[in-house]
Amino acid sequence: MSSDSPPDTVNPILTYGETTAPPDEPSSTVTSSYNASPSPVSTPPSTSLSWPPDGKLTLDWIYNLMSVFDWASRNLPPVNFPSVLPVSVFDSLVLTASKILHKEPNCVRIDDVDSDSMVVVVGDLHGQLHDTLFLLRDAGFPSENRVFVFNGDYVDRGAWGLETFLLLLAWKVFLPHRVYLLRGNHESKYCTSVYGFEKEVLIKYGDKGKHVYRKCLGCFEGLPLATIIAGNVYTAHGGLFRSIPATPSKRSKKKNRRISLTPEINPFSLGSLEELSKARRSVLDPPWEGQNLIPGDVLWSDPSMSPGLSPNTERGIGLLWGPDCTEEFLKKFNLKLIIRSHEGPDAREKRPGFAGMDEGYTIDHTVETGKLITLFSAPDYPQFQATVERYNNKGAYVVLKPPEFNNPEFHSFEAILPRPKVQAYYDYEEVIDSDEELDLASMVTTPSDIIVST
């Protein structure tokens, strides 16, 4: 079976339309169409999943995983999820993936792409399993000549964050050098405790739920922060980050006494790739104060139309950076393009001066050296919405092609509807919006929160 050819059992209720791209356009847009049947599939594609005896995943195993997850989401109550994916299989998958992820650097350089390769960049998914399955089939599944970079936010808000995250972990295990999973701000203890993922896991795995949740958090800590594709394209969930000058400590003449000076942080100085490489990403929640600010900046920052760097007061963590900073970053590191995510239609509604997220992407800064793009891959977001009027946004992914891999081709797509009926795992009518100021006090890690990765 070819790695580019999906099996007939994947998303069997969907009929996909053809996609055509306008020729010779520097940043073309492709819209995908489909027809969905409202009737659920009544016959399961397979029985309970099991881990391969040799520990090596195959393409058929992953195809079956997709089919089983799709079928179960339409036919089984969430509490029956262990009958689909037993805890033992979950443990094997997460342990294997975590070992791979923790060995990757903070900023992964993807240089092994050639004239036969393409790179697919994906934005926020937020537990929208069926849209994720469509995206994978529409773009073409990962293969030796099709690299995928996911910009984070796999979980929360949507009802199938666990399935979405585990599916991508399986692809990572199968093709570790062709699938790259970055961390989003929602891959954290704070966000998952507020926006549904923790409750989702506890309901789906019952008395084993706490174990499963803690293993997921440990895996989140291993997710890299950024990629650089073909030396030309920087991708990260939120975006740019500040420089934090190292301040040496002073020792007094008295034995065993040390006086540490508080580091002076200049919020108007962009950080370097070297500083990014040295940041400590293995934290449950990225700090908003202290010396380890770079992970929080990379995950939570947003672009601005105003020049310079400034605190991101709306979110309470991270930075705002202007077009001048985009130009400085691109020029300093010989880059042509920045692809970030982090902002859906709800966030963009509150951002005067920026385009909306109707098509799943926006071009936010166009400067002399290149561009800054925001990419959002969850259509009809959020799944659960308090207002009757929905955003009805499309999702999108970007395809980068040789020789330079810096000329983005945008592929927009609509949501797979109707979605299976399911209850939300968070109070979407009352919960504070993640685009607003966070409850920072609840993000403080206590000793009991510490996870030891194995």
Positions annotated as catalytic residues are: 186
Give SS3 for 322: coil
DSSP string covering 69-92 = HHHHHHHS-GGGHHHHS-HHHHHH
Indicate the residue type of 140.
G
Q: What tokens were used for 447?
A: 């000793």
Cβ within 8 Å of residue 427, ≥6 positions away: none
Closest CA relative to residue 133, chosen from 71, 87, 78, 44: 71
Output the 3-class SS for 189-241: HHHHHHCCHHHHHHHHHHHHHHHHHHHHHHHHHHCCCEEEECCCEEEECCCCC
Q: Are 382 and 344 in contact (CB under 8 A)?
A: yes
- The Cα–Cα gap between 73 and 45 comes to 13
Q: Per-residue DSSP letters for 139-174?
A: H---BTTEEEEE-S--SSSSTTHHHHHHHHHHHHHH
Residue 56 neighbours by CB under 8 Å, 6+ apart? none
Residue in 298, 387, 248, 313 with CA at minimum distance from that of residue 108: 298
Q: Positive or negative, the Cα torsion across 388, 156, 63, 413?
A: positive
Provide the CA 443 distance to its chain's centre, in angstroms: 20
d(CA 156, CA 160): 8
CA–CA dist 430, 207 (Å, integer): 28
Report d(CA 16, CA 117) in Å as an integer: 24
